[in-house]
Amino acid sequence: MSAINEYCLENNTVFSIEGKGLKLNTAEDVKLFCDTISRMDNLQKIILSGNTIGVEAGKALAAALSTRKTLKVAILSDIFTGRLLSEIPAVLKALCDALEKTQLTELDLSDNAFGPAGAEPLIEFIAHSKTLQTLRLNNNGLGIGGGLMIARALQASADQARLENRPSSLRTIICGRNRLENGSSQALANAFAAHATLETVRMPQNGIRPEGIEILMGGLVQCKNLRHLDLQDNTFTAKGSRALASALVEWPLLEVLNVGDCLLSKKGGLEVATSLNRGNNTGLTHLHLQYNEIQANAIEVLAKAIRSHLKDLVHLELNGNRFDAEEKELETLVEALKEWDHEEALDELDDMEELDSDDEEEDDSEDELVEEAEKAEDSEPAVKGDDKKEEEDLVKKLEKTHI
């Protein structure tokens, strides 16, 4: 009973060994935990994060979890520190097979650097789950190959839901810091469009370039209930910004937009501000536009949008852009925020790039060069060389699993 008291929380609905730094290798190492789990008739959440789990220990924990039909949330982030890459797929396969027998609504496997090899064991679970609402795969090193695997599994899940005449259960996908790049964009866009129920999509720091951003927007535009979009620290330029501006009008429920550090450019920043000024995103509360080379013309339009439509905007980031913090356009923006009693919404502007008239002329030339570079990029294949072979091998593997 003391073990139950130590590891069970919230009326015995949560089992947690979070952050204990345990090295769990054998079935004997986890016997106490498995016994505890088996006694929890109303287990709803398990947290194993911050420990390292080997093959035998993982299989033993999976066997215990497979009997807990009430389980809804599995937090399995950072559970493979120091493990050989060859160990990880076996543990993940055992855990995912066990979770298929539950009513899981949330799975978090973030901060496990398992790469494409670790993505493969997730395919069956993702494809067959009828209850999963939140999938967190942040900082897993998926790469293009792993991204394709996850995308095709998501597509299979949506296809199965359609065949069974039921809506997708999926609401949230978090997949940042995974080097997804452009090569996985089309498959992910297709999956997003198929899961039109999505409300939160967060994919920061993935090395996605303008063509990939444009493709992703083509899928996300189908998600009419989108509330939170985070694509921070990818590369938009004017091309990706135009695609975002077009998509914004389709998201009337949007509350959080994070495109900071995305190189929107002078033209792109104006495109996004102009779209926000159309009045289709009146519920926006958080807007992150820092470090994007945005200039005063976009700030003027954004001020109009705030005054007319964005009455709920409580957080606005514009630091690191290319306008003078003393310009009248910014003063107009601050006045617009004050009209809604949100004068504290604007974050610090302590790292601005100031422009004079000569700089503005140079910036117009730079925009033209960026456009030319984008056109050249469009003429190149999205997947080349070894990446192309990797994609073909993955497609064959996925076909064998009927996904």
Kindly state whether residue 171 falls inside one of the protein's structural domains: no
Strand partners, 172: 134, 200
d(CA 320, CA 351): 5
Kindly state whether residue 58 falls inside one of the protein's structural domains: yes
Q: What is the pLDDT of residue 396?
A: 56
Look at residue 46 and give its three-state secondary structure: strand
Q: What is the pLDDT of residue 313?
A: 98
Kindly state whether residue 25 falls inside one of the protein's structural domains: yes
Residue 67: is it exposed, middle or buried by C-beta count within 10 angstroms (0-12/13-18/19+)? middle
Q: What is the pLDDT of residue 238?
A: 98
d(CA 398, CA 403): 5
Kindly state whether residue 227 falls inside one of the protein's structural domains: no
Q: Digits of tens for pLDDT over the chain (403 positions)? A: 455 568 888 889 999 999 999 999 999 999 999 999 999 999 999 999 999 999 999 999 999 999 999 999 999 999 999 999 999 999 999 999 999 999 999 999 999 999 999 999 999 999 999 999 999 999 999 999 999 999 999 999 999 999 999 999 999 999 999 999 999 999 999 999 999 999 999 999 999 999 999 999 999 999 999 999 999 999 999 999 999 999 999 999 999 999 999 999 999 999 999 999 999 999 999 999 999 999 999 999 999 999 999 999 999 999 999 999 888 999 999 999 999 999 999 999 999 987 765 555 545 555 555 555 555 555 444 444 454 455 456 545 554 544 5
Q: What is the pLDDT of residue 131?
A: 97
Closest CA to 226 of 257, 204, 187, 203: 257
Strand partners, 341: none
Kindly state whether residue 155 falls inside one of the protein's structural domains: no
Q: Read off the DSSP letter of residue 257.
A: E
Kindly state whether residue 384 falls inside one of the protein's structural domains: no
Structural domain of 2: 1-104
Residues in the chain: 403
Tell me if the pTM is above 0.75: yes
For the chain, how many structural domains are there in total?
1
Q: What is the 3-state secondary structure (H, E, C) of 116-179?
A: HHHHHHHHHHHHHCCCCCEEECCCCCCHHHHHHHHHHHHHHHHHHHHHCCCCCCCCEEECCCCC
Most distant CA atoms of the chain, gap in Å: 75
Q: What is the pLDDT of residue 94?
A: 98
Kindly state whether residue 2 falls inside one of the protein's structural domains: yes
Q: What is the pLDDT of residue 305?
A: 98
**Burial track 5-28 (b if 16+ CB lie within 10 A, e otherwise):** eebbeeebbbbbbbeeebebbebe
